[in-house]
Amino acid sequence: MALKEEIQQDLKEAVKARDELRSTVLRMTVAVFLNKEKEKRYKLTRQNLPSENLSGQGKKELKEEEIVKESQLTEEEIVEVVFSEIKKRKEAVEGYEKGGRQESADKEKKEMEILQKYLPEQMPEETLKKIVKEAIKETGAKTQKDMGKVMAALMSKVKGKADGSLVSKVVKDLLV
């Protein structure tokens, strides 16, 4: 089952079980999916409007069904959304803890736990270090000034499998 359908199914089960926290988190996540799809649909329709000066020449007109199909999120985009939602909650936890609001921080942590179930298995740090070392060799990076090159080469390999902040930390540690 695709990740989006799995989340929607879990949402239905959470609503039936009257699991308020879980159903709220999953509802918000599904809403983000819908908003991302609307953005994609908007961009597709904007791209496919015939331009007045070209009188529509060279533009491929998409039918509405095709636009809806094209605007569906890919598995990778869905994972990105889940990562983004987890990151928002991490930042909120830090803010709440600094502000002395432990109860709110605990709630955000529980929400993160719910969402982490939908992430692919995370890469162990040792494996990540090996991949970072390879990327450093490939890019010829020597100092931390070259970190951007290394990160660009790495992120396509580890996207969805490792947290960006962990990747950044490992790269900084290995580029002295």
End-to-end CA distance of the chain: 44
Rounded average pLDDT over 10-20 = 94
- DSSP state, 144? G
Q: Residue 118, Cβ neighbours under 10 Å: how many? A: 20
Cα–Cα distance measured from residue 89 to residue 92, given in angstroms and rounded to the nearest whole number? 5
- Mean of pLDDT values over 135-153: 81
The pLDDT of 126-147, averaged and rounded, is 82
Residue 172: its pLDDT value, please? 84
Q: Most confidently modeled of 62-71, 91-100, 159-168? A: 91-100
Specify whether the CB–CB gap between 171 and 141 falls below 8 A. Answer: no
pLDDT tens digits for range 115-132? 999 888 877 888 888 888
Rounded to an integer, what distance in angstroms lies between the CA atom of residue 22 and that of residue 109? Answer: 12
Fold of 125-174: Arc Repressor Mutant, subunit A (1.10.10)
pLDDT digits (tens, 9 = 90+) for 49-92: 665 544 445 445 567 777 777 888 888 888 888 988 999 999 99
pLDDT given for residue 60 in this prediction:
53
Q: Is the model's pLDDT at 175 over the cut of 90? A: no
With CA atoms as reference, report the closest residue to 129 among 87, 174, 165, 163. 174
Residue 58: per-residue pLDDT:
47
The answer as to CATH 3.40.47.10 being correct for domain 3-116 is: no
Domain boundaries, the chain: 3-116, 125-174
Cα 108 from chain centre = 18
